[in-house]
Structure 1
Amino acid sequence: MDARHRFRGGRGLAAGLVAAAAVLGVAVALLPLASAGASGAEDAGGPVPCGSAWVAAWRTSPQAGQRADLSGRTLRMVVRPQATGSELRIRVSNRFGTRPLRIDAVSAAEAGSGAALVPGTVRPVLFAGAPAIVVPPGQELASDPLAFVTQRGTPLAVSLYLPAEPDRVAVHPVALQTSYVSGPGDVADSVDPAPFTRAVSSWFVLTGVDVLAPRAENAVILVGDSITDGVGSDPDRDDRWSDALAGRLTGGLAMPVLNAGISANQLLGGGTGEAPAARYATDVGAVPGTADVVLHIGTNDLAAGRDAGEIVTGLVAYADRVRADGRRIFLTTITPSATGAHGTPFAVVQREAVNRWIRTEGPAHADGVFDFAAAVADPADPGRLAPAFDSGDGLHLSAAGYRALAGAVDPMRLTGSPCLAEGDAAKVLVSAPR
């Protein structure tokens, strides 16, 4: 393992040195430290800049969708950014389209009740100084920066008027967040909810929100399938495990938590949406401030009949790619299920083999391992979910189960902010032996 992976993350380094010092019987002194980020500044030995920086505050992983009756209508997409800042920029996608996607008007506002906007907060969003944008096939574009105060956790409404139906719209079908589509017409600036006649449970076209934070922040991206997507939790309640983890990463531990789950996704491809390796560039590589990736996937590969050796090979390949890109990767054990194809004798044996490898060999290929399976398994029958953590289908988790997954993540292992305030972290100086 090279120095980039050994020493990234001030909190983890501090904890490790404290433990080592205790074993060696040496004295330690604790001083303020800004933990290392993904910029590589720590490799050069210089200080990490502490000024404002763009950080990804919200992301979703899209897939190709068919016609959704969007022609001549305004989309009002509601999202919850995970960072605070004074400016924002949005990202719109035509990744799967075969013809240009035209967007004639875009606005951002603080979301009110339902499709309403908070009066006085509506601002036009421009692209290269213009209110309209044509997104070429296969591309994702970012808007111009917009002066707009975004608060961590405060819902944001982004409204987009589409004059024509996209041929293959970029969509995240399992948003677990209600958004809205208007009747005919451009009502992107309307604070009135009345024109928005259709509630939808998907995010269309909008794939990201970045904010200009007052201090640089690193983000952690959760890559996975329907369990990361949050299936089994209640819509509009923010009960996914990404939400529970975000609730833990506050103060000196603060990191935006970005959700890149796709329901029915498979590590090795063949499921719904692109495999994690195929979507790596947009999920991780192009996301500003990304330092850590947590990968929780594999149950759908087991259901598709793949064996432990294939899945382990895929995990290693993905981990190698993340680390080669200068980021940190954390592997997780596959949560149990006794349901349908996920619970056949073959799938159970293979899942146990994968989890055994993750627990014993995973740390040699990753920056850490989180034991999700142990966190939610039924103690009386580890091949099943504990009843309190089962949403009812034997595969997906309840809100309590998702909190248990988030609880299995050790925040001290994550990178944290590259620019922490004094007292947020500790630097360990090892002195002479006692």
Structure 2
Amino acid sequence: MRRDGRWHIPAALAVLALLLAGSVAAGCGRALPAPAGAAECGPGWVAGWHAAQQAVPGDQLAGRTLRMVVRPQASGDGLRLRLSNRHGDGPLHVGSVTVGRAETGAATTDPRPLLIGGRPDVGMDPGTDVLTDPLPVPVERGVPLTVSLYLTDVPATISSHPVAMRTTWLSGPGDRTTEPGADDFGTTLQSWPVLSGLDVLAPRPTGGVLVIGDSLVDGVGSTPNGDDRFPDGLAARLVAEQETTTVLNAGLSRNRLLQDDPPAGGDAPATRFDVDVAPLAGVRDVILLIGTNDLAAGAGADELVTGLRAFADRGRATGLRVFLTTIPPSTSGGRDVEAVVAARDRVNERIRADGPGWADGVIDAAAVLADPGDPTRLRPEYDSGDGLHPSPAGYRALADAVPISALSGAPCLASASG
């Protein structure tokens, strides 16, 4: 509970958190937890928020404090954070970490410190992730939190999510992690550096849907700070239908299915499967929306279909349900030339005809978003203005096309004990 702007923690919960801290304290490169089994219907960790990572410059971050806003997709009695130097080209040192309730702008309420392996700071070698110790505070689905990181040593290249569609604040020099006010945070970014996830200690497994792909998943074209991307729309539908299933966003702008492109679009979904899909606790379903950048780069229909099938096979082999999407039309970046349109049409025909045999379902994004009078372009009301990315209305329409009844849902009934 939270009264008078402060966290209030039952004593029993604090004891539980201490027990959990002894069993899951993280160090550099620690493997992240596997999804909870269907029979484990008591309290457990679920992935409540996620940000796919790629390599970006770490300019101007050393000796300053980042304050980021995240919107958890699960409710529970505790949280822990995942920090990443996976794409860093040198050591990263985090001096302190806090989490609080988000207020206006960079302001936060009652920022609480988190520890990593019992310490307030952590050094991270290149290529590693760490998991903080549990913090026993209440988390409410959809209620934004602030995460503040004081970075003391930062390599030239860091791990970050570069297109957050959400404002991040950067302070002047010094550790501002425990300061609730916004006065010292005079610089804004549109990214989530270092922070790759937030886990929630839920009373029972919730089940989760992970949406992975390119900028149409990342949310380019949506409202900055508006939380109206495609995955957000799907989450809102689930909340309206009183589903506890979480929705996680693993989109990366300019991402391709068939080729890693670290400086621009990051690693392909297959390359990042073991960090952005398999380890996320609670995920049972995966929606793959990708391919427009591959087509723009000259990929052929047959190789794109092969890649889609391979991803579906890999996901299903790990016990996940996989849903494929058709590729929406576009008039941007040469995507409307005859050869590209023909390739896209062939891919979409194969997905519609054969996709239900390769995967657990098909979402016809092209049919939903295309202009009925000219199926080579987006419907005007669904076009954000660049001919490629949907508007908020387009993302809502896409979310409405997801067959919720086909999703796995929570592995335990709401009435289950625990």
TM-score normalised by L of structure 1: 0.85
Q: Which has the higher contact order (CA 8 A, sep 6+)?
A: 1
Tell me the residue number matched to 1:256.
Answer: 246
Contact 1:308 1:353 in 2 (8 A): yes
The one-letter code sitting in structure 2 at the alignment partner of 1:257 is V
Contact 1:106 1:159 in 2 (8 A): yes
Tell me the residue number matched to 2:176.
Answer: 187
Closer, same or farther: CA 38–156 of 1 in aligned 2, 3 Å: closer
Contact 1:38 1:218 in 2 (8 A): no
Distance, in Å, in 2 between the alignment partners of 1:254 and 1:332 is 23
Tell me the residue number matched to 1:346.
Answer: 339
Contact 1:245 1:407 in 2 (8 A): yes
The one-letter code sitting in structure 1 at the alignment partner of 2:60 is D
Tell me the residue number matched to 1:172.
Answer: 161
- How far off its partner does 1:99 sit? 2.2
Distance, in Å, in 2 between the alignment partners of 1:147 and 1:166 is 32
- How far off its partner does 1:40 sit? 5.4
Tell me the residue number matched to 1:385.
Answer: 378
Runs of 4+ in 1 over 4 A off after TM superposition: 37-41
1:320-399 aligned at under 5 Å gives the runs 320-399=313-392
Q: Deviations over 1:34-83 (max 9, x none)?
A: xxx97554xxxxxx332111100000101101132001001111111101
Distance, in Å, in 2 between the alignment partners of 1:256 and 1:68 is 34
Q: Deviations over 1:292-344 (max 9, x none)?
A: 10000000000001110010010011111111111111000001113332111
- Report whether the alignment pairs 1:205 with 2:229: no
The one-letter code sitting in structure 2 at the alignment partner of 1:75 is L
The one-letter code sitting in structure 2 at the alignment partner of 1:377 is A
Q: Tell me, what secondary structure is at the counterpart of 2:83? A: strand
1:399-418 aligned at under 5 Å gives the runs 399-418=392-411
Q: Tell me, what secondary structure is at the counterpart of 2:98? A: strand
Q: Deviations over 1:102-158 (max 9, x none)?
A: 11100010111101012xx32110001110111121011110000111111111111
Contact 1:109 1:157 in 2 (8 A): yes
Q: Tell me, what secondary structure is at the counterpart of 1:253? A: coil
- Report whether the alignment pairs 1:114 with 2:105: yes
- Report whether the alignment pairs 1:223 with 2:216: no
The one-letter code sitting in structure 1 at the alignment partner of 2:405 is M
Distance, in Å, in 2 between the alignment partners of 1:137 and 1:241 is 32
Closer, same or farther: CA 163–321 of 1 in aligned 2, 3 Å: same
Contact 1:53 1:217 in 2 (8 A): no
Contact 1:38 1:327 in 2 (8 A): no
Q: Deviations over 1:354-391 (max 9, x none)?
A: 00000000111101111111111111111111111001
Tell me the residue number matched to 2:83.
Answer: 92
CA RMSD of aligned residues (A): 1.5
Contact 2:260 2:271 in 1 (8 A): no
Contiguous gaps of at least 5 residues in structure 1: 1-36, 42-47, 424-434
Q: Tell me, what secondary structure is at the counterpart of 1:359? A: helix
1:72-87 aligned at under 5 Å gives the runs 72-87=63-78
The one-letter code sitting in structure 2 at the alignment partner of 1:133 is V
Q: Deviations over 1:406-430 (max 9, x none)?
A: 011011110111112259xxxxxxx
Tell me the residue number matched to 1:12.
Answer: none
Tell me the residue number matched to 1:147.
Answer: 136
Tell me the residue number matched to 1:243.
Answer: 232
Distance, in Å, in 2 between the alignment partners of 1:38 and 1:73 is 35
Tell me the residue number matched to 2:16.
Answer: none
The one-letter code sitting in structure 2 at the alignment partner of 1:298 is G
Contact 1:252 1:420 in 2 (8 A): no
Distance, in Å, in 2 between the alignment partners of 1:39 and 1:52 is 10
Distance, in Å, in 2 between the alignment partners of 1:309 and 1:268 is 12
Contiguous gaps of at least 5 residues in structure 2: 1-33
Distance, in Å, in 1 between the alignment partners of 2:330 and 2:119 is 51
Contact 1:103 1:160 in 2 (8 A): yes
Tell me the residue number matched to 2:95.
Answer: 104
Distance, in Å, in 2 between the alignment partners of 1:314 and 1:40 is 29
Contact 2:35 2:280 in 1 (8 A): no
Tell me the residue number matched to 1:25.
Answer: none
Q: Deviations over 1:162-217 (max 9, x none)?
A: 11222311111110001111000001000011111111111100000000011211
Contact 2:114 2:120 in 1 (8 A): yes
- How far off its partner does 1:87 sit? 0.4
Contact 1:337 1:383 in 2 (8 A): yes
Distance, in Å, in 2 between the alignment partners of 1:262 and 1:68 is 21
Contact 1:304 1:341 in 2 (8 A): no
The one-letter code sitting in structure 2 at the alignment partner of 1:321 is R
Tell me the residue number matched to 1:431.
Answer: none
Distance, in Å, in 1 between the alignment partners of 2:92 and 2:332 is 41
Distance, in Å, in 2 between the alignment partners of 1:300 and 1:395 is 10
Distance, in Å, in 1 between the alignment partners of 2:205 and 2:40 is 8
Contact 1:67 1:165 in 2 (8 A): yes
- How far off its partner does 1:269 sit? 1.1
Alignment partner for residue 258 of structure 2, among 261, 265, 268? Answer: 268
Q: Tell me, what secondary structure is at the counterpart of 2:277? A: helix
Contact 2:36 2:44 in 1 (8 A): no
- Report whether the alignment pairs 1:214 with 2:177: no
Distance, in Å, in 2 between the alignment partners of 1:217 and 1:166 is 37
Contact 2:36 2:205 in 1 (8 A): no
The one-letter code sitting in structure 2 at the alignment partner of 1:334 is I
The one-letter code sitting in structure 1 at the alignment partner of 2:247 is V
Q: Tell me, what secondary structure is at the counterpart of 1:343? A: coil
